[in-house]
Structure 1
Amino acid sequence: MKIVNLELRIKDNTLISTILIISFILYSIAIYLLINPANTLQGKDKFIPSILAFILALTTTYLYYRYRADKKLHRIWIDLVNKIVLGEKRIELPEEINNVSEVEVDLYRGIYRGEYRVSLNYRETENKYGRVLELREIKPYLFIALKRTRRNRVEYGEIYYNGMGYYFRYRGIKFLLLPLHVIKPKPRNTHLRVMHERDYGEAYIESRDNSLLVKLYYTREDSRELRLELTSETAPEYLLDIKLCSISESGNKECIIEFPVLADTHLIIIPINYRYVADSMFKPEEFIYKGELLDDKLIIGYKDLELKLTLDIPYARDVSVKTSW
């Protein structure tokens, strides 16, 4: 069992120094334009640049204090993580924590206008615990993380989690603990069949540790192709709808699809603070797994996921059949 380490993206003291210098210069300009009787600007000519300088100064000051607040919260996060004791299927939280609630969590971090934005909803259940948590029961969840390069950094940018978690307070801050258990891919049905007039397709699916062996059989008349996709009714569409295997001519095809399977249970611990979660880095090396990413996506847990076998029909609605996990 391991805790996924979080890092703040902005951690260069040079940046903070630059912000302070810019803020001081802009404040100085604003004061000079407003109170210095020697300057030649009058009326609106004096008022507009001074207000602009004042607004810019306030903006840089806000960014600085926002950064300082994130750093303070990050220090509390580090202190919390250092005090947690991990067992094989057991978590001991710090002694200051004596009331833990089980919660249903829906977390999404995506990009909006070039910056990360966070949507976080959680609802407490009737289950309450002390500071010792036993993780012997594996509850369904879905975790998706999209790997991307942003500003010369490789990270898991967009994040989606839906499942059970734990809620508690530490040093006045609300936290969520999200356990990512080891779950291997195993669809409920291993034989899927679709038909449309004279077009016909079948898929036989065999689970093999962290992979699926898929055999497609296809009779083509009017359709374009037969394909097997990974979809979900709840996760953001662009994070899924992954084509796993396809065939466009009559015959058969065999595909081996590797899924990422965690080597051990991973724990994500985040404060209920939208800005902090948006500004935190989820580094790929923090997630230890075997197998391969699917379309640059780390997909584990499989809650609400579906395998969909589809006949692509031109000028008509596609014919498909699904199976859950």
Structure 2
Amino acid sequence: MEKFKYIKGRGAQINTNNRFLKLHKVLEDDFLNYCIKEGEHYNNSKTQYLEIFPKTILNKVTSTDIGFAYSLNPYQGCEHGCIYCYARNTHEYWGYSAGLDFERKILYKKNAAELLEQKLKSKNWKAQNIMLSGNTDCYQPIEKKLELTRSLLTVFLKYKHPVSIITKNTLILRDLDILTKLASLNLLHVSISITSLEEKTRRILEPRTASIAKRLKTVEVLSNHNIPVNVMMAPIIPAINNHEIFDLTKKVSELGAKSVAYTMVRLNGAISEIFIDWVNKTLPDRAKKICNQIADCHGGKLNDSRFGTRMSGEGKIAEQVHLQFRLAKKKYFSNKSLPPLDYSIYSKNTPLQLKLF
């Protein structure tokens, strides 16, 4: 079989089989060679957008490793295409692959704001930390057209309910008008994910995300508007970006970030197959070293699902990362911290006369 060219603009280079489906696709050599002969790729790389109709919008988070109570995701799948993304596995619940399908079949929830408002108005709801993008990025490219995230932020502001956001996309600056109002009421935390300061690394790890320069500028602009910013160096991948801890921490501190945090990479579920295929095609000279060092952080395996250790890892490499990060935070963030969110001003917007009953 002839060798296919690298699929530019995508993270995953393959579609893994869906563990929930009985039938699996097998690509035969004669079909693949025919595609090459005809100048066609066997996979149509064009992104598709599919509307879905959920009945609820909030997802309860039970993990002790996560610092928020609920996640809210207006989109399933993510066109950013980050090769390491833990959310890839969730695409299998929809009948798709965690590989290329995750990046090119984007499901969107047009009624997201309506469902959120119903929840915030409900009699038994009490204000809790809700994270936008707990699974997939709420500011991925299609948000520019659909504005689902903007409509959600409008609802949070209307009910004076706290919200946290994590994103890699500078499109968040479009919503500065709402974000500044939320921040003035201590209702907002924003996390900007910056995995590396090197644009070359960003392009191969996160092919359809905003450039590093633009993300750094986003940290600065948000901070200048008194919006509390946390920077997530997530994930740290041994032999790829673990050497950047001090430089990255120093840079984002200078730009006004209030805090910084990290997670260690873990290749859970189908992601291990996707990552191994990718790293052998993208960084063949370092592929074995990278995989071995990732395994060293998780007891000899590429993934560790245990609460308490899965995000930070174990072993010598993970310990070195932890020590570097602790020293970097002590040096550049010793007098900084995110302000607490205010849960006391949440209002269900119920007419005053009804509140007597």
- Normalized per residue, the structure richer in strand is 1
- Normalized per residue, the structure richer in helix is 2
User: What's the TM-score once normalised by structure 2's chain length?
Assistant: 0.23
User: What's the TM-score once normalised by structure 1's chain length?
Assistant: 0.25
